[in-house]
Structure 1
Amino acid sequence: MFSVIFPGQGSQLVGMGKDFHEKYSLVRELFNEADDTLGFSLSNLILKGPKEDLDLTENTQPAIFLISYLIFKLIKKEFNINLNKASFFAGHSLGEYSALASAEALSFSDTLKILKIRGKAMQSSVPKGVGGMVAVLGSEIETVEKIINENKNNYECYIANDNSLGQIVLSGNMQDLEKMMVDLKSANIKNIKLPVSAPFHCKLMNKATLIMREEIAKLDFKEPKNILISNVTGKEIINSNELKDLLVQQIESRVRWRESVLLMMNKGVNQFIEIGPGKVLSGLIKRIDKSVKVSAINTEEDIKLININD
């Protein structure tokens, strides 16, 4: 059994998809459709930069989705590999939208538009420099939760991502995060401030939640062709009605990636295919279980090497 997974923010790169763009008309058509849908040249930004503009959250989110989606479509049309045979689809944060569109629960244009709105809303929820994120390495989640709970009167920090064994990401106000970093260091727990401009996946994103609740309510969701795993619960999404509520909750909720991967593995998945730029999720899964087969699909050569387990 295999699952298809889609990356989130941080995997972007100027020039991603360039080889596909040069070779395949399908890819050029999707790039053009994205530009028309959004009303600006996202394709030019992806292919030529500048990096600082591509790294703006409101651009990064539709850009990563576009690359993930076009690779998914290309695999089916040009290489005759049907990834919709997967047991599950899952994505990390914005990657959940790539999973939705690939499972045909949300249209390509609607996904682009909602991710542009989502990125802008998340970016503007907290003034630049006020909030941030910190990666905690080599510690168990129970240990980090204990430190947070024991210091509630000193600072307010949140677990934003439970990514893998030994990789947790915190969100919060920078002043609070810096206090917690001191406590982590005292406990000999390695931590690194991340180069992000906002504290994603915590209650400081409340303004973005309000915007997304209104915008998601307008969308036309269809029943997905594949079983989707929710970031919010780490469990299967039962129906499209539940889907809307979970996508709203996702803005402030912990990304339960480790739990999602373990659920899929417990249900018999022994192969993961990562569709989109980079190989971040492949690395996280290998940290969870080295024995699982994982492949990241970024190039035509990667596609040719796809060998699906039954």
Structure 2
Amino acid sequence: MRAFIFPGQGSQIVGMGRALADASPTARAVFQEVDEALGQHLFRLMADGPAEELVLTQNAQPAIMANAIATLRVLEVEGNVRLADKADYVAGHSLGEYSALCAAGAIDLTTTARLLKLRGLAMQSAVPVGEGGMAVLLGADLARAQAIADAAAQGDVCAVANDNDPTQVVISGTRAAIDRAIAIAKDHGAKRAMALPVSAPFHCSLMQPAAYAMEAALDEARIDAPLVPVFANVTAAPVSDPDTIRRLLVEQVTGMVRWRESVLAMESAGVHGFVEFGGKVLAPMVKRIAPDVTATSVITMDDIEALLKTL
């Protein structure tokens, strides 16, 4: 069994998608559709920068999705592959869950792009810049990270945001609480703690205004049953019902990304191969979580051609 997986924020880089678009009319069509959906030259920003604009949440989120979906579409169209024939599940990390839903036909590309643009804007505006933050705890498992967050809170918000793998957990909250967490992390057994260069504290209760915005938008969006089940971030369990998908996407804005548990659950369900589209962040995490599975990152035309030989 196989799962197709899709990366989250942080995998954006100036130049992303350019070589793929140069080589494939299928990829170009994806980037053009996203540009038209958003009414902006997003692909130009992806290809040429500047980096300080690409990294903005409202740009990074649809850009990462567009790059992942373009990579998958090239595989499907030019490799004559149907996702439902080659993948038993899909999953994505944070915004990557939207990419996964798009890949599996639950949300069309135009709607996905517009939802992610709104999601980025809503997350950015939920907390004034400078008042929130995030930090990665290296060499800390979930229990240790939770203890650090609890000790650092002191009346402020400080929560586990991403349970990425057994050696890496991300926390989120007010700037003061995150600073305290970084200061005490080693005392609580973490090897290292570093502030992340993000503009908002994602996946914690401070994002509640963004959750309300996404609830309103998702209520209006058409969501169909996916071609294959999607492992949801907040439950680490497969879901196919459109109303449940809609509800879990709202919960995801403030909820913890249970990526480690999701990978373990997919492995337990029989998945032995993971294929990451449009990034090279998740595959190494998967191997740290489940060393016995195979995990491949697919970014270039060469990667796509190599993957075709194994499907």
With structure 2 as the length reference, what TM-score do the two structures score? 0.95
Once the two structures are superposed, the pairs formed by residues 67-216 of structure 1 within 5 Å of their partners are 67-85=67-85, 86-149=87-150, 153=154, 155-189=156-190, 190-216=192-218
CA drift at 1:275: 0.6
Moved more, 240-249 or 23-32: 23-32
Give the Cα–Cα distance (whole angstroms) in 2 for the partners of residues 133 and 36 of structure 1: 33
Aligned length: 309
TM-score between both structures, scaled by the size of structure 1: 0.96
Q: Tell me, which stretches of 5 or more residues in structure 1 are unaligned?
A: none
Shift of 1:153: 3.8
Report how far residue 156 of structure 1 moved.
3.3
Q: Which amino acid aligns with 1:253?
A: G
CA distance in 2, matches of 1:40, 1:148: 39
- Rounded Cα–Cα distance in structure 1 between residues aligned with 2:310 and 2:143: 34
Shift of 1:40: 1.1
Counterparts of residues 209-224 of structure 1 (less than 5 Å) = 209-224=211-226
Shift of 1:23: 1.9
In the TM superposition, residue 32 of structure 1 has moved relative to its aligned partner by 1.8
CA separation of 1:179 and 1:151: change in aligned 2, threshold 3 A? closer
Give the aligned partner of residue 240 of structure 1: 242
- Cα distance in 1 between the residues matched to 2:100 and 2:155: 39
Whole-angstrom CA distance in 2 between matches of 1:306 and 1:197: 36
Distance 1:308 1:129, change over 3 A: farther
Q: Hey, what's the Cα distance between the residues in 1 that align with 2:52 and 2:229?
A: 36
Structure with larger RCO (C-alpha < 8 A, sep 6+): 1
What is the root-mean-square deviation in Å for CA atoms of aligned residues?
Answer: 1.5
Match among 250, 253, 256 for residue 251 of structure 1: 253
Letter paired with 2:254: E
Quick one: which amino acid aligns to residue 292 of structure 2? Answer: S
Q: In the alignment, what sits opposite 1:55? A: 55
Partner of 2:35: 35
- CA distance in 1 between counterparts of 2:305 and 2:30 reads 22
For the residues of structure 2 that align with 1:238 and 1:68, how far apart are their CA atoms? 21
Counterpart position of 1:301:
302
- Is contact 1:2–1:308 with CA below 8 Å preserved after alignment? no
Q: Percent identity of the aligned residues?
A: 40
How big is each residue's C-alpha offset from its partner over 1:29-48, in whole Å with a ceiling of 9 and x where there is no partner? Answer: 22222221111111111111
Runs of 5+ consecutive residues of structure 2 not aligned to the other structure: none
Letter in 1 for 2:112: T
How far residue 186 of structure 1 moved from its aligned partner, in angstroms, is 2.0
Tell me, in whole angstroms, the C-alpha distance in 2 between the residues paired with 1:153 and 1:10: 29
CA displacement at 1:309 relative to structure 2: 6.9
The AA in structure 1 aligned to 2:282 is: L
Encode CA deviations 1:146-204: one digit per residue, 9 max, x unaligned. 34345654653100000001110000111011112222122342211111111000000
How far apart in 1 are the matches of 2:74 and 2:127?
38
Distance across 2 between alignment mates of 1:183 and 1:245: 36
Partner amino acid, structure 2, of 1:258: R
Report what 1:18 is aligned to.
18
Paired residues of 2:3 and 2:275 also in contact (CA < 8 A): yes
Runs of 4+ in 1 over 6 A off after TM superposition: none
**Which residue is equivalent to 1:228?**
230
Work out whether residues 155 and 180 of structure 1, in 8 Å CA contact, stay in contact via their aligned partners in 2. no
